[in-house]
Amino acid sequence: MLDLASTNGQISQEQSLENSPLAIRGLTVSYGQKPAVFSVDMTVEPGKMTAIIGPNGAGKSTMLKAALGIVPPVSGQIQVFGKPLDAQRARIAYVPQRASVDWDFPTRVIDVVLMGLYRELGLLGRLRGDHKAKAMDCLDRVGMGDFATRQIGQLSGGQQQRVFLARALAQGADLYLLDEPFAGVDAATEKAIIGVLKSLREAGKTVVVVHHDLATVADYFDNVFLINTRKVAEGTVAEAFTAETLQAAYGGRLATAQVDQLALALG
C-alpha cells in the first residue's frame, strides 16, 4: 500500500504533532464487526486547506466524527493544537452533513447561526444585541443576510449549507472541519463556500473538508488525505493526489479512463 506520509520521516512527524491543529494517531472506528476506519494516522498542516477524499464508505465522515468525539473510537489518540480534544473545543468549528438534520425543525435561520455562539453564551447566558449582530454578520459573509428570519425548512439545499457554514463562522474557531459541504449544492453556493473557506485560510485558520469531487481537488485544496478504511496517502496535492494513489484508494471503482484523465489534468 502506498504511504507517502512515511517519507516525511519520524522526527518531523513528532515535531508537527505539537503544533498540528489536528493530529490523529492509530484511530480505529468500528460499526459492528467490520472496521470503518482502521489504524489511521493524520497530521493536519496549520494554515492550510486539506481535503479528505476516498470512495463511498471509505470512512471519511466517520474519521472526522471520531476526531470530534461524535462517534466513539475503538482505539486511537486525538490531539487538537497539541492538547486533548476536550480542552480545545472552543477552537473547533464543525459543519455536519446537511442531510444529517431534520430541516423541518421549528426554528429560523438566525437561531441556527446563534447556536454557534453556545460556547460563548453557556447554559443560561443572556442573548444580547451584539450576539445577534455577530450572527447577522456571519450570515452576510455567506450571502444569506436577507434570510435571517426565514424558517429553515423554506431554504434550498445550497442555502441550508450556507447557513451551516455561517453557524461555524459564528463559532470563531481556529480549526474548521466540514463534512461534504459541496454535496448537492448549486454552483453559486459552491463558489460562495469556497470563497469563505479561502478567506479563512488567508486569516491563518486551518480548514479540513471531506470532499467527493475529484475534479475540483487541485483547484480548491493545498493538501490531500486519501483514505479507504486505511490511510492511502497524505501530503500536498502534488505528492498525494496522483494517478497511483487514486488507483490505490479507489481500486476498480475508478475507471482506468477516469484515472488517465485525472493524471492528464494533473500533468
Partner 1 sequence: MSGEEFVPLSLTPLLIGIFAAVACALPGNFLLLRKQALIGDAISHVVLPGIVVAFLLTGAISAAPMMLGAAGAAVVAVVLIEAIRRLGRIEPGAAMGVVFTTMFAGGVLLLEQTDTSSVHLDVEHALYGNLESLIWLDAVGWSSLLDVQALAHLPVELPRMALTLLAVTLFIAMFWRVLKISTFDEGFARTLGIRTNLLGLALVITAAVAAVAAFDAVGSIIVIAMFICPPAAARMMSNQLEGQVAWSVGFAVLSAVFGYVLAGYGPLWLGAQDAVSAAGMIATVSGVILAVAARFGPCRTRSGAPVGV
Q: Which residues are at the interface with partner 1 (CB under 8 A)?
A: 31, 65, 68-70, 86, 89, 92, 94, 96, 100-108, 111-112, 115, 118-119, 121, 123-124, 151, 153-158, 160, 167, 184-186
Q: How far is the CB of 68 from partner 1 (least distance, A)?
A: 5
Q: Is-contact 53 225, C-beta < 8 A?
A: yes
Q: How far is CA 252 from CA 239, 244, 248, 255, 257, in A?
A: 22, 12, 9, 7, 11
Beta bridge partners of 230: 228
Q: How far is the CB of 260 from partner 1 (least distance, A)?
A: 30
Nearest-angstrom CA–CA distance, 238 and 49: 14
Q: How far is the CB of 186 from partner 1 (least distance, A)?
A: 5
Identify residue 163 by its one-letter amino acid code: V
Q: How far is the CB of 93 from partner 1 (least distance, A)?
A: 8
Q: How far is the CB of 114 from partner 1 (least distance, A)?
A: 9
DSSP of 93-146? EEE--GGGS-TTSS-BHHHHHHGGGHHHHTTTPPP-HHHHHHHHHHHHHTT-GG
Q: Which is nearer to partner 1, 190 or 239 (CB)?
A: 190
Q: Which is nearer to partner 1, 71 or 263 (CB)?
A: 71
Q: Which is nearer to partner 1, 32 or 267 (CB)?
A: 32
Q: Which is nearer to partner 1, 18 or 105 (CB)?
A: 105
Q: Which is nearer to partner 1, 121 or 254 (CB)?
A: 121
Q: Which is nearer to partner 1, 47 or 184 (CB)?
A: 184
Nearest-angstrom CA–CA distance, 179 and 119: 21
> In a 3-state reduction of DSSP, which class is residue 184?
coil
Distance of CA 230 to the CA centre of its chain: 18
Nearest-angstrom CA–CA distance, 22 and 176: 10
Q: How far is the CB of 89 from partner 1 (least distance, A)?
A: 5
